[in-house]
């Protein structure tokens, strides 16, 4: 069986992502706030939670089905040298750093710590944690862009009526003067100073003094990392560009990160995926038997085909779909629905996403030796397809064994992208599928 | 405590079911597709998914309560020598073979296998399996009729927006020519041959060649069954007529199959039940403390009385109900609601059903030594019923200890049914309840 | 970290509750029966299930969020020497005895037993149990008032369409004459006597004869308690006044009971809490990270402030709230929402409640050494609050370390309440927080 998890190779690809910087979700219009019911949520349908000169936050709620709570996704952008102020998490979260670099500091029952963040990092924080994020002041002035997916599992639920997190300052200032005076027993003028301040935006400029201050928890983190202090005080992370993609050929590459690669994903019950398709390329038909996939197009244009395979006489069944996605659009494909993604119109197509899974999810591809088509009786297959046994023979003896295919003559190197990979090591040496 | 599971006896009853062949769900009208909210769904309210000269499929979605996903039940009928073409399961399923015989072939990660199917068989398949079913060409030209109940548990959920299964041919043909060409790298005319075929119906005539082909996986099954090959490749089944009913007297009999009898039901969290009531007979008042019961009348006519026992001043509470059911009607009784089923109008009444239970469900009967009435303080009972202590004494000293009762003088043998049982062995010798 | 569970002291406080007798939920008007969506349900919005001269039952359904089943709470009042007639439980329940005394008798698979009930008792019964309650004929003619919270967990769900319990007499009488005759095989006149009786109300006068009869199960209980008979036949209970409150100072006290104190709460997944605030006192800002709190005001008047801490630019987010509650009103605060409760208008404020938690819930207080504010970097805090670092210093060096505060000069002893505590032992000797 062909699984995305089992094919690990050795080619960090972070440079490719430099090209993706043009993606912007700016200019979003506040939408109604109701969860979108998919399958596509266009860039301007994301809810705008914050827009300042130092950064912005947009959010998306997509319902997998009408009976379930929606999945909540946030896209946080920090200008260089900016600060996302402390919030208290109400649900477990998984972060993916899409561009830029910075630092994440957290506080929870086990203590406090700071880890550096860079492009390609994946990490997760548990509910009840307080955290804040600071972007680096880089020479390149890259924005720090983070995708945050909030869990929706049996035990750790993002609940829309509770919200994803609360801002620490709002918690303090939300209680009126009398309560704060009673609780803090501090002079009136101190309370007044706090209560009467106008609201601080969630993202602000990080003044230099701050930067030194941040060193303190960082030191404490290092101490913990080195084994001094509590072990639980470490935050595990995984950088997708420090490892080979699961699959790569000249038409594109594909990466999936599950609890096997990053243990802390087990608690959150969320997986991560990223796929790059060169011009004129296609990710072959496949389905996720255990997970629904929530993806965001981050570069180029693509077309997604979703096939339900329903009995076509059942009018209540899911309908096959084809939709076009542009950078910034999100799309959802439910478990067991078959999909194929294609780059569109002479552009490459890059998307990342999160998959929801209580169990190991092994994507099933329709073509290739692992396909279910190979395991079915040939004559039954022929009857099902309404063709001759001979046609099925021809179909199944196709030499092709890949998951990403070129539709036309535009492989990756012609796009000037091949050289952007960080390594020139031979690809997929032992388990090469198609090169 | 009187439990249906604990009373196992030895009288296969499969011949009785020959009488049930007259049941037909033909002629169904397509309904709106919205889940029915019970308690009764009449025969013509089943959704018609397919009708061909070789077979038909009808479906039912019943919501246990408005906040939960519906249960999905399919009734699949194959004419002799017909073929239900391969589908990919999206949820665990439990099959009950109501009439006829045939073969079930499945393919999953563990391999492939074929088992014979005959009347009374119960088996289950897990999600991600591909399966197909072929009916035998019998001298009696009996139809193969199968009830399929899709799971709705925490881990294995039938989700209406995903559907119960997808047809393999629709999966292949749903992707358009360009994708299939890219993925399969086969000549254009081959793709054209597949794509341009009109849709094959889900059930077709099984040509003779096919029958030989089916032998192959069958052989492979036997090999596996004999211990050669993977153990996980076996499919456990249980035939209700190979075992004594849980309860039997002259007025009827009752069978329940749980994970105790068929281990694979544990995963699906579904139980099976079948009850036959002779003319003028009644299954005594009882409730299921752990399971909701989804039943289908398969022969005759019956009346079902459901008693909620609610505080009668609470207008929002469940109301007591009485409804008449004919062969083909489905009905739902929620856990803890008390029910009594009666045959109606000089006809016998036979129903089968599925119960949903995370735990052991021991039906509780109101009468008999195990009844809760016997455990309550006599005077408190009298006060509750508004009668004298003496009346309660009389009530509880009734010699009756049974679960199926004759209302009038029509025991089973007078109906010409007794001789249809396969065995004349004495019934329930050691745990005889009432004969 | 300041937790309500970890501070156990030694001052039974049951006498304080004598003052609470004036609370009455009489005169309720029947409401629509739809679950209330909080945050406050006023006294006259409780649904009236029964009102007789011997007692009454009111009920409340509050939805934590629109996607979940509501929580169901009943308030049962028995006049002295009255009898709540037997019912069959459809869901696990937790009882809290608010005033008066009496006896609880239960019957289940494990047997039967009776325990005395008195003010401050907490106990729980499992679904499938039958139980009845009798109030004592006391010299003081105190009413027996019981709060009953029905579980809403993954495994033990209160389902509105099934109901909380069914009345045993309705179960018997709900089946018509023919069924009962068949099932019980008793003479017609006996059935007639039962069927034709008018409905007995759920609460009746307990005649003297009854009292003797009740002794029997009581004896059987004692036998079991002494180790003769089945161990599972005991019913664990916990009296909150037999133990010190978790926190107490001159401004009030607070008690929480979890599975740590009463093991049987583990199954029901429900905790209990009770808080007394003297005139002019405030329970400091805090939140429950694991549980939603469903509370009922039982004396005086209070004001509850709820702070969501949401990003204030997100119009779909939860809004901060302030609501006034009077005795008899219920209110809900969701997990992670911060709250502060205050007594209002020169009255004390007493509330009790139930918390829903799959895990240990440690309320987090905003002030005090355990506060998250102390763990955050000082400069980040200052930036977040929009004040100087110095102000944060002053704020955090406040000597206050308590959870209940006096807003003005009305500590508990001035209210004449101090002497009502049953013990004069020093409060909270080892972990004293603020005295």
Chain segment B81-105, per-residue pLDDT in tens: 999 999 999 999 999 999 999 999 9
User: Which member of A64, A308, A391 has the closest CB to residue B190?
Assistant: A391
pLDDT of the residue at B208: 57
Using a CB–CB cutoff of 8 Å, tell me whether B408 touches chain C: no
Whether pLDDT at A213 is above 60: no
Smallest Cα–Cα separation from C86: which of C264, C225, C217, C175?
C217
What's the rounded Cα separation, in Å, for the pair C433 and C7? 10
Sign of CA dihedral B211, B216, B221, B226: positive
The pTM (predicted TM-score) of the whole model is 0.82
Q: How many residues does chain A have?
A: 435
Whether pLDDT at A122 is above 90: yes
Q: Where does C15-238 sit in CATH, by number?
A: 2.60.120.10
What mean pLDDT is predicted for residues C152-169?
Answer: 78
Q: Which of residues 251-310 of C touch A (CB under 8 A)?
A: 282, 284-285, 289, 305, 307-310
CB A130 within 8 A of CB A84: no
What mean pLDDT is predicted for residues A68-88?
Answer: 92
Contact: C380, A213; criterion CB under 8 Å: yes
Contact: B386, C161; criterion CB under 8 Å: no
Q: Most confidently modeled of A26-35, B58-67, C23-32, C49-58?
A: C49-58
Whether pLDDT at B205 is above 70: yes
Kindly indicate the confidence band of residue C312, based on its pLDDT and cuts at 50, 70 and 90. low
**To which H or E segment does residue A307 belong?**
strand A292-307
Peptide bond into B349 cis (omega under 30): no
Kindly indicate the confidence band of residue B329, based on its pLDDT and cuts at 50, 70 and 90. very high
Task: Using an 8 Å CB-CB cutoff, list chain C residues near B345.
Answer: none
Best mutation target among B172, B190, B207, B358 (most A Cβ atoms within 10 Å) is: B172
- CA distances B93 to A318, B143, B266, B335, Å, are 19, 21, 12, 21
Least confident of A17-21, A71-75, C7-11, C130-134: A17-21
Nearest CA in chain B to A318: B161
Give the mean pLDDT of chain C: 78
In this predicted complex, what is the ipTM?
Answer: 0.79
What the block records as the tokens of A239 is 């950088």
CB atoms inside a 10 Å sphere around CB C408: 11
Contact: B86, A380; criterion CB under 8 Å: yes
User: Which member of C128, C130, C163 has the closest CB to residue B310?
Assistant: C163
Kindly indicate the confidence band of residue C426, based on its pLDDT and cuts at 50, 70 and 90. very low
What's the rounded Cα separation, in Å, for the pair B296 and B332? 9
Chains near C (3 or more Cβ pairs under 8 Å): A, B
Using a CB–CB cutoff of 8 Å, tell me whether B67 touches chain C: yes
Least confident of A239-253, B3-17, C341-355, C383-397: B3-17
Using a CB–CB cutoff of 8 Å, tell me whether C234 touches chain B: no
CA atoms within 13 A on the CB side of C119: 15
Complete DSSP assignment for C24-70? --TTPPP---SPB--SEE-GGGSEEEEEETTEEEEEEEE-SSTTSPP
What the block records as the tokens of C435 is 């005295």
pLDDT of the residue at C199: 80
Best mutation target among A372, A388, A394, A398 (most B Cβ atoms within 10 Å) is: A372
CB C344 within 8 A of CB C303: yes
pLDDT of the residue at A27: 26
pLDDT of the residue at B433: 27
Kindly indicate the confidence band of residue B108, based on its pLDDT and cuts at 50, 70 and 90. confident
Kindly indicate the confidence band of residue C313, based on its pLDDT and cuts at 50, 70 and 90. low
Percentage of chain B with pLDDT > 90? 42
Contact: C376, A154; criterion CB under 8 Å: no
Using a CB–CB cutoff of 8 Å, tell me whether A342 touches chain B: yes
Task: Using an 8 Å CB-CB cutoff, list chain B residues near C128.
Answer: 289, 364
pLDDT of the residue at C131: 96
Nearest CA in chain A to C341: A179
Between residues A370 and B418, which one has the greater pLDDT?
A370
Q: CA-based angle B65:B67:B72, to the nearest 5?
A: 60
What the block records as the tokens of A384 is 């099902």
Q: Domain B11-243+260-367 belongs to what topology?
A: Jelly Rolls (2.60.120)
How far apart are the CA of B4 and the nearest CA of chain A, in angstroms?
33
Give the mean pLDDT of chain B: 78
**Secondary structure of B191-248 in the HEC alphabet?**
HHHHHCCCCCCCEEECCHHHHHHHHHHHHHHHHHHCCCCCHHHCCCEEEHHHCCCCEE
State the CATH architecture for A244-420. Sandwich (2.60)
Measured torsion, CA atoms of residues A179, A182, A184, A186, in degrees rounded to the nearest 10: 110
Between residues C49 and C176, which one has the greater pLDDT?
C49
Which residues, 6 or more positions from C110, have their beta carbon under 8 angstroms from its beta carbon? C230, C232, C233
Whether pLDDT at C227 is above 80: no
Between residues A42 and C37, which one has the greater pLDDT?
A42
What's the rounded Cα separation, in Å, for the pair C224 and C237? 15
User: Which member of B66, B378, B386 has the closest CB to residue C200?
Assistant: B386
User: Which member of A169, A179, A207 has the closest CB to residue C384?
Assistant: A169
What mean pLDDT is predicted for residues C87-95?
Answer: 94
Smallest Cα–Cα separation from C109: which of B362, B358, B376, B1?
B1
CB C327 within 8 A of CB C387: no
Whether pLDDT at A289 is above 60: yes
How far apart are the CA of C19 and the nearest CA of chain A, in angstroms?
26
pLDDT tens for each residue of B65-79: 666 777 899 999 999
Contact: B170, A310; criterion CB under 8 Å: yes
Using a CB–CB cutoff of 8 Å, tell me whether B195 touches chain A: no
CB C376 within 8 A of CB A86: yes
Q: Where does A16-238 sit in CATH, by number?
A: 2.60.120.10
Using a CB–CB cutoff of 8 Å, tell me whether C73 touches chain A: no
User: Which member of C130, C154, C163 has the closest CB to residue B317?
Assistant: C163
Best mutation target among B48, B131, B171 (most A Cβ atoms within 10 Å) is: B171
Using a CB–CB cutoff of 8 Å, tell me whether B219 touches chain C: no
Smallest Cα–Cα separation from B247: which of B94, B401, B420?
B401
Nearest CA in chain B to A320: B174
Task: Using an 8 Å CB-CB cutoff, list chain B residues near A337.
Answer: 162
Whether pLDDT at A232 is above 80: no
Whether pLDDT at B1 is above 80: no
pLDDT of the residue at A433: 27
pLDDT tens for each residue of C35-85: 666 688 899 889 999 999 999 999 998 777 666 777 899 999 999 999 999
Kindly indicate the confidence band of residue C165, based on its pLDDT and cuts at 50, 70 and 90. very high
pLDDT of the residue at B18: 25
What's the rounded Cα separation, in Å, for the pair C241 and C251? 18
């Amino acid at each position: 069986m062909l699984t995305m998890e089992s094919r690990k190779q050795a080619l960090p690809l972070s440079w490719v992502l430099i090209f993706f910087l043009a993606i912007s979700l700016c200019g979003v219009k506040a939408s109604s706030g109701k969860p979108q019911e998919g399958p596509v949520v266009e860039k301007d349908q994301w809810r705008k939670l914050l827009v300042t000169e130092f950064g912005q936050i947009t959010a998306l709620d997509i319902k997998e089905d009408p009976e379930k709570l929606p999945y909540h996704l946030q896209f946080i952008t920090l200008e260089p040298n900016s600060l996302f102020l402390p919030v208290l998490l109400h649900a477990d979260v998984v972060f993916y750093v899409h561009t830029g670099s910075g630092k994440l500091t957290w506080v929870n029952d086990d203590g406090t710590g700071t880890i550096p963040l860079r492009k390609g990092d994946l990490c997760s924080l548990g509910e009840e944690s307080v955290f804040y994020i600071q972007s680096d002041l880089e020479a390149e002035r890259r924005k720090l862009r983070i995708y945050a997916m909030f869990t929706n599992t049996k035990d750790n639920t993002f609940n829309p009526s509770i919200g994803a997190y609360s801002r620490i300052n709002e918690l303090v200032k939300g209680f009126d003067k009398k309560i704060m005076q009673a609780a803090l027993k501090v002079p009136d003028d101190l309370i007044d100073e706090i209560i009467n301040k106008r609201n601080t935006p969630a993202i602000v400029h990080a003044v230099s003094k701050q930067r030194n201050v941040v060193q303190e928890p960082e030191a404490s983190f290092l101490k913990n990392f080195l084994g001094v202090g509590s072990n639980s005080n470490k935050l595990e992370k995984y950088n997708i560009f420090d490892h080979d993609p699961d699959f790569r050929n000249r038409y594109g590459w594909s990466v999936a990160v599950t609890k096997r690669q990053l243990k802390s994903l087990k608690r959150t019950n969320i997986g991560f995926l990223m796929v790059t398709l060169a011009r004129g390329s296609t990710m072959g038909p496949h389905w996720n038997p255990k997970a629904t996939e929530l993806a965001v197009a981050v570069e180029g244009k693509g077309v997604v085909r979703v096939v339900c395979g329903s009995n076509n006489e059942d009018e209540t069944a899911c309908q096959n779909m084809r939709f076009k996605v542009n950078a910034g659009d999100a799309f959802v494909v439910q478990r067991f629905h078959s999909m194929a993604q294609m780059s569109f119109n002479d552009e490459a197509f890059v998307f990342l996403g999160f998959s929801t899974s209580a169990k190991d999810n092994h994507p099933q591809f329709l073509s290739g030796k692992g396909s279910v088509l190979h395991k079915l009786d040939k004559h039954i297959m022929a009857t099902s397809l309404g063709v001759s046994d001979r046609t099925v023979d021809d179909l199944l003896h196709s030499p092709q064994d890949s998951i990403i295919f070129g539709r036309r003559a535009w492989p990756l190197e012609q796009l000037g992208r091949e050289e952007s990979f960080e390594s020139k090591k031979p690809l997929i040496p032992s388990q090469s599928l198609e090169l």
